Amino acid sequence: MAAVSVSPKSPALADFRRIVVKVGSSLLVDSAAGKLNRDWLASLAVDIAELHRDKFTAGPAEGRTRLRDVLVVSSGAIALGRAVLKLPAGALKLEDSQAAAAVGQIALARTWSEMLGAHSMTAGQVLVTLGDTEERRRYLNARSTIAKLLEWRCVPVINENDTVATTEIRYGDNDRLAARVATMVSADLLVLLSDVDGLYDRPPGDGGAKLIPLVERITPQVEAMAGASGSELSRGGMVTKIEAGKIATTAGTHMVIASGRVAHPLKAIADGAACTWFLTPANPVTARKKWIAGSLEPRGTLIIDAGAVAALRRGKSLLPAGVVRIEGAFGRGDAVLIRGPDGAEIGRGLIAYDAEDAEKIKGRSSADILSILGFGGRSEIVHRDDLVMGGE
Ligand code: GLU
């Protein structure tokens, strides 16, 4: 398959200078025993300390000017709270999981602080909600707090603020949250530790499924390997990991999915354990475009015609004339998805008109905007500078 190839060499963990490590709930919490997997966590803390101290690096450390930063995105608040409270098995109602997270997060934070502290690292807890990455001003604010922690050589330990996040304002999964954090801090690597060791070309339960060691570009074929989206089971599964991969790689952050079912999981990656690497395209985009590309909740969709798709691919802006259909209720400046006539996602951008005005000018020449709307707005409905193409 053209999209997936083993020809370029997989990167080495030691090559990265700012690494976000995402740890899934099932690794941290032994649900059957109702407690944290402390031994495993202790082995991970050893690896984090080695990375933080610039180990796993070939050659002498002298002369290296930049220390390595490590950030942790830790799940487990709900699972741990549920274990501590001995809540019955089965799906939790939102208010139950919010309250369980309040109990679990405090224990989780203490454990991270102890585990990292045992290696002379200082943990700093950061709890974020969706708005902290989706609204530009809050995004910049969260970014500067985390930057300060890194400057102080602390290890930020990040989770969603599950206790206050309600359905509409939740990430819901820490894969995409971790990708957002990674792009926010311009990390060069995102490590997703989970209970699978990577992406398989078909469901791993099916006979003959093969692990894909390297994904150069996330194509529709790669997405298909992750399975159908939208199912209950897919939350936190491969679908959200591929979504995370899209956010991360578009912004210039490499990603690796690796097994956390082994002791010293980061050392295992450094030693060449089976895993799946997702590479960034050759030309990472600007900070502003990273933010656009990573927006988790576009407010609407523009379906455009084949001519407009071709124009966008040639580096042009999107004009109202190329827009065939508009969906969603969005305001001026909101993020929208751009889809081609076949529904395939072409890119994402910030729209220059609200939904009502966009509806009026769609399919029309830019020269008519003044007479249609009664004011002369931008001739582009999504300007090139506000547009990120898939894989750009
Ligand atoms: N934020 C959730 C928790 O700490 C985890 C979400 C996920 O599993 O991805 O429980």
Name the residue among 316, 390, 376 with its Cα closest to residue 346: 390
The ligand 1 atom nearest the CA atom of 74: 4
Maximum average pLDDT range among 88-92, 218-222, 319-323, 376-380 = 319-323
Q: Percent of the chain beyond pLDDT 70?
A: 90
- Given this model, what pLDDT does residue 234 score? 37
Rounded Cα distance, 377 and 56, in Å:
54
Mean pLDDT of 200-211: 81
Q: Is the CB of 76 under 6 A from ligand 1?
A: yes
Rounded Cα distance, 366 and 352, in Å:
13
Ligand 1 centroid to 210 CA: how many Å? Answer: 28
Alpha-carbon torsion 270, 5, 220, 352, what sign?
positive
- Given this model, what pLDDT does residue 236 score? 55
Owner of token pair 């102890």: 114
- Given this model, what pLDDT does residue 66 score? 58
DSSP state for residue 376 in the 8-state scheme: -
Report how far Cα 331 is from the mean position of its chain's Cα atoms: 25
Mean pLDDT of 211-218: 92
Q: What is the mean pLDDT of the chain?
A: 87
Which helix (H) or strand (E) segment holds residue 176: the answer is helix 174-184
- Given this model, what pLDDT does residue 53 score? 87
- Given this model, what pLDDT does residue 55 score? 58
Mean pLDDT of 24-37: 88
Residue-wise pLDDT tens digits, 255-305: 999 999 999 999 999 999 999 999 987 665 666 777 787 776 788 999 999
Strands 323-328 and 29-30: unpaired
Q: Is the CB of 79 under 6 A from ligand 1?
A: yes
Q: Is the CB of 163 under 6 A from ligand 1?
A: no
Q: Is the CB of 160 under 6 A from ligand 1?
A: yes
Residue-wise pLDDT tens digits, 33-88: 888 999 999 999 999 999 998 755 545 555 444 579 999 999 999 999 999 999 98
- Given this model, what pLDDT does residue 237 score? 83
Ligand 1 centroid to 345 CA: how many Å? Answer: 28
Contact indicator for 255, 244 with CB cutoff of 8 Å: yes
- Given this model, what pLDDT does residue 56 score? 57
Q: Which residue has the higher pLDDT, 172 or 156?
A: 156
Q: Which tokens in the block code for residue 78?
A: 């709900």
Phi, psi of 226 (to 5 degrees): -75, -10
The ligand 1 atom nearest the CA atom of 97: 10
Which helix (H) or strand (E) segment holds residue 110: the answer is helix 94-117
Q: Is the CB of 25 under 6 A from ligand 1?
A: yes
- Given this model, what pLDDT does residue 4 score? 46
Q: Percent of the chain beyond pLDDT 90?
A: 56
Mean pLDDT of 207-214: 89
The domains of the chain, with CATH numbers, are: 13-281 (3.40.1160.10), 290-389 (2.30.130.10)
- Given this model, what pLDDT does residue 15 score? 83
Q: Which residue has the higher pLDDT, 197 or 333?
A: 197
Mean pLDDT of 320-327: 96
- Given this model, what pLDDT does residue 101 score? 95
Ligand 1 centroid to 11 CA: how many Å? Answer: 28
